[in-house]
Amino acid sequence: EYRGINPRPRDFDRFWAEGLAEIKSIEPETAFVKAAVDLNGLDAENVYFTSAKGSRIRALYVAPKDRTKKYPVMLLFHGYGGNSGSFFDKAAFAGQGYIVLAMDCRGQRGLSDNGVSVKGTEQTGLIMRGFDDPDPTNLYFRNVFLDTVQLVKVAKSLPHADPGRIYAHGGSQGGALTVACAALCGGDIKKAGAVFPFLCDYQRVWAMDLAEHAYCDIKDYLRAYAPFEGKQAHVWEKLGYIDLQHLADRISAEVLWATGLMDNICPPSSQFAAYNKIKAKKEMLLYTNHGHEGLPDLADLMSGFFNAGTFQ
């Protein structure tokens, strides 16, 4: 029943309305570059598109060669500090008849640019990047969230894509972007498979003394710039712009959410803050003996979730 403690900024809705208006105005200028890989029966290409703040974003594209029919689209999002992986990894979904678009997060270990210059300190991680900039639109994850919206625009433009069957999936940071994408894209996302999502209820993570690992830059920032509790309120308020619990009630997609109750990287209670605000059809898989790690049988369960009702 937990519903979070991190505050929601008073102008939260305006903040995201302006962000969505910005991304709507940007032409993706999509370019496809054939990849030097051979996947039997599948096309493999690099896709580049323009997104928030003019950054050029790259995604892997893997799809059936037969373009005489419409295919569902699977949007895949990777973990924190990583990249979209290999083309071969995407063959599991593409071989089942999906178009796969796997996005590199800007400025991480892939090929997407982050052309945003920010004022103020930059910490060891990316949560606090842009935090001290007087312009809150320079928050790093604000722009990554909008990149997922632009990726949906790219997916819908594909002539062999079925715009009524666009799905999102990922774990950790990828789970967070799955939730953000489903929230910000409204009815365009029909199903979302989120695995122990990051970026939920920052103040709860701090209160549990778990601002380590992926959340370590919050701890670094507070130690350096807000060491007294009375000076921390503005931190939680501004981080509220990129807190998924405040976006979750916008989701209309069917959601399958998996978490490990022993997760000390993305604490389960922080995830519950977002999950419990989802009004759409949803189910949570609770792995009672697992943490932030591979979850047994989950890939098969997610495949069944996405495939149900997809193929006739």
Catalytic positions are 172, 263, 292
User: Which amino acid would we find at residue 235?
Assistant: V
CA dihedral 130, 136, 138, 139 (to 10 degrees): 60
User: Running DSSP on this structure, what letter comes out for residue 215?
Assistant: G
Phi, psi dihedral angles at 109 (to 5 degrees): -90, 10
Provide the sign of the torsion angle of the four alpha carbons 299, 268, 142, 246, taken in this order. positive
Burial bucket for residue 232 (CB in 10 Å: 0-12, 13-18, 19+):
middle
CA distance 189 to 211: 31
User: Which amino acid would we find at residue 199?
Assistant: L
CA distance 25 to 13: 18
